[in-house]
Amino acid sequence: MDDGPRPRGRPALRAPTPPPIRGSGRSGRATRTPPRPIRRAPPGDGTPRAHRHGHRAPGGSAPGRTACARRRVRPGRRAHGSLWWRVRALELVGRDGRRRGIDSVVRTPEETVNEFIAAIGRKDLDAAVALVADDLYYDNVPIGDMRGASAMRDFLTPMVGGDGPVAFEIVRQTASGDMVMNERIDRFTMKGKEIALPVAGVFEVHDGRITFWRDYFDNGMFMKMLKG
């Protein structure tokens, strides 16, 4: 029966519809469908899990990709960078370039030649020989060539064995790849005579050692200096 128009305002409340009743089959008992579990929001301020374990981006409140997402160096591991290897090599190689467990790998070809010339200037043939390969090819163009570090040592011994100082003064020098070229004034004392000989040198360096050395100079000028 119609009771007439309803007053305006809130709509009439209706009772909730119960879930459907299903039979279990074998037992014959009526069972209700279990409610689905409610997914709860993650704890905190609702930030996604991938961001909750990180830090907030610098200069802002929104979480962002930070150092925790980058590759970390675990304790006890070494950072494999060129700087670390250079420092480690300097610890293993002496200042004169002699081997301490490994060969010298830190010098450029030009630095190797400079250290070689400096060792001759100190009359330190041991340090000089340590900077050349065992199968060194040494060519004194006006005099002749020789092979091997020991042959080079025998050739240089009379020059560095004099009473006066020895100095290979580099006037100009250039380097390209494994090759180094320089213009020098070689000063030394031989047979009581002070020699100042203009020389042009060519060097090749591989794996931190000199493998090729060739010097050009005027042999006639050299003989005149010896005669005085």
Concerning whether 103 is annotated as a catalytic residue, the answer is no
Q: Which of 135, 186, 207, 218 is catalytic?
A: 186
Farthest-apart Cα atoms in the chain, separation: 146
Residue 91 to residue 125: CA distance in whole angstroms: 23
Q: Which of 45, 103, 134, 215 is catalytic?
A: 215
Q: Who contacts 151 (Cβ-Cβ below 8 Å, separation ≥6)? A: 138
CA 90 and chain centroid, separation: 13
**Which residue do the tokens 């970390």 mark?**
72
Residue 85 to residue 208: CA distance in whole angstroms: 15
Residue 54 to residue 69: CA distance in whole angstroms: 8
Concerning whether 163 is annotated as a catalytic residue, the answer is no
Beta-strand pair 167-176/209-216: unpaired
Residue 160 to residue 124: CA distance in whole angstroms: 9
The first and second tokens of residue 21, run together, are: 């009743």
Q: Which residues are catalytic?
A: 186, 215
